[in-house]
Amino acid sequence: MWSVQDQRLSARSAFISDSMEKIGTTLTQHIWQEQKTHPQSRGSLSELLYEIALVCKIISREVNKAGIAEIYGLTGEVNVQGEEVQKLDEFTQNIFVNILGHCGHLCALASEEEEGIVNLSKEKELGDYVMLFDPLDGSSNIDANVSVGTIFSIYKRVTKKGPGTMEDLMQAGNKQVAAGYVIYGSSTMFVYSTGNGVYGFTLDPTIGEFLLTHENITMPDKVKNYSTNERDYHSWPEGIRKYIDEIKKEGKVSARYIGSLVADIHRTLLYGGVFLYPSTEKNPNGKLRLLYEANIMAFLIEQAGGRASNGQKNILEIEPSELHQRVPLYIGNKEEVKKIEDFLH
């Protein structure tokens, strides 16, 4: 005969084991499992990814209460891109530099929001990796409560010691050891790859954990949407106008454009389709930045079976020449991107 105490304990352990099944894999566990596939790894990249996830949880909290916390709106400053700096841009930039700068796993950091290399020379401990990031992507959408995101790209340093240099930061996208984004939308999702598939984790704010919800994401074959800002139609290359004209004439592919790269790519990755930010007469290299926007999306899309091109070549093969260089971006279903490249030739 079980005592009341025994019955309570067995009910409790049944509940815990049941809820543990429901929790599934956390981001931390997944990163650790990925690390175990590299026996020689000392865990530095894993710890760097944990720190990034921590920063993005803090950003998620701030984005989700920005209106209350009065950090919506403009700071009145203009950044190196000549764009108005949103308060949240500044907040996210600072928190990344403060937490990642001290984590001891980086020897250099570069951001959309800073002209040059973020100076880590006063750090007591420098690491073997460099990170380039867009702390808040789509920030012009913040005040309209439209999804925004964070984008990050990680490389192994190529110089031997001391503070990282431009040589460490300006490597081709196919040298990335890890890349990902966080989308702050109806839920907060962490999407990343270390070259072994793309995995999506949804934040459960009640326990502060990112939980695996999208295992080994693979792009659907069907081209569901095309995504581009048609404002520039008349100044696109003729091949792009012809491509979009053909899509519209067939009338089978829906137009979807949010204006936040992270949100537009997240939808393209999950639903299938193409995203285009072409060159224009005014901006022959388009608007998007190679090192902390295009390269990351290209890495992820390729891992999911898609393709990313600047119209001539694979984005990941471009050897960077400057930190904030822009690049035309055609990205999504592999066959569709190849079709766009054909239209351009």
Residues near Mn ion (CB under 5 A) are: 112, 134, 136-137
Task: Convert 248-267 to b/e letters by CB count within 10 Å (16 or more is b).
Answer: eeeeebeebbbebbbbbbbb
Report, in this order, helix, strand and coil percent for the chain, each rounded to 5.
40, 25, 40
The size of the chain, in residues, is 345
Q: Is 93 in the site for ligand AHG (CB under 6 A)?
A: no
Element holding 92 (H helix, E strand): helix 87-101
Q: Tell the residue number behind the tokens 């919800």, with chain if given.
A: 213
Q: Which lies closer to ligand AHG via its Cβ, residue 112 or residue 168?
A: 112
The least distance separating Mn ion from the CB of residue 194, rounded to whole angstroms, comes to 22
Q: Which lies closer to ligand AHG via its Cβ, residue 139 or residue 188?
A: 139
Separation CA 143–CA 108 (nearest Å)? 32
Candidates 51, 128, 137, 341; binder of ligand AHG (CB under 6 A) is: 137
Cα dihedral 30, 33, 39, 40 in deg (nearest 10): 20
- Binders of ligand AHG among residues 243 to 262 (CB under 6 A) are 259-261
* Residue whose C-beta lies closest to Mn ion: 137
Q: Is 134 in the site for ligand AHG (CB under 6 A)?
A: yes
The torsion angles phi and psi of 111, rounded to 5 degrees, stand at: -135, 155
Contact region with ligand AHG (CB under 6 A), list: 32-40, 132-140, 166-174, 244-252: 132-140
Task: List C-alpha distances in Å: 172 to 14, 44, 134, 216.
Answer: 51, 22, 17, 24
Candidates 138, 173, 286, 332; binder of ligand AHG (CB under 6 A) is: 138
Q: Which lies closer to ligand AHG via its Cβ, residue 83 or residue 90?
A: 83
Candidates 51, 112, 302, 341; binder of ligand AHG (CB under 6 A) is: 112
Identify what 305 binds: ligand AHG, Mn ion, none; CB under 5 to 8 Å per kind. Answer: none
Identify what 197 binds: Mn ion, ligand AHG, none; CB under 5 to 8 Å per kind. Answer: none
- Binders of ligand AHG among residues 55 to 84 (CB under 6 A) are 83
Candidates 87, 224, 266, 287; binder of ligand AHG (CB under 6 A) is: 287
The least distance separating Mn ion from the CB of residue 260, rounded to whole angstroms, comes to 8
Identify what 260 binds: Mn ion, ligand AHG, none; CB under 5 to 8 Å per kind. Answer: ligand AHG
**Chain centre distance of CA 115:** 20
Separation CA 212–CA 198 (nearest Å)? 11
**Count of beta carbons in the 10 Å neighbourhood of residue 2:** 9
Bridge partners of 331, per DSSP, are: 275, 308
Q: Which lies closer to ligand AHG via its Cβ, residue 73 or residue 104?
A: 73
Q: Per-residue x/- mask for ligand AHG, residues 204 to 243, rule CB under 6 A? A: -------------------------x--------------
Q: Which lies closer to ligand AHG via its Cβ, residue 139 or residue 333?
A: 139
Q: Which lies closer to ligand AHG via its Cβ, residue 128 or residue 137?
A: 137
In a 3-state reduction of DSSP, which class is residue 260? Answer: coil
In a 3-state reduction of DSSP, which class is residue 226? Answer: strand
Q: Per-residue x/- mask for ligand AHG, residues 303 to 322, rule CB under 6 A? A: --------------------
Bridge partners of 118, per DSSP, are: 109
Q: Which residues contact 288 (CB under 8 A, 6 or more apart)?
A: 261, 277, 294, 326, 327, 329
Separation CA 219–CA 34 (nearest Å)? 22
Contact region with ligand AHG (CB under 6 A), list: 43-51, 57-65, 133-141, 206-214: 133-141
Identify what 216 binds: Mn ion, ligand AHG, none; CB under 5 to 8 Å per kind. Answer: none
User: Which residues contact ligand AHG (rule: CB under 6 A)?
Assistant: 83, 112, 134, 137-140, 229, 259-261, 264, 287
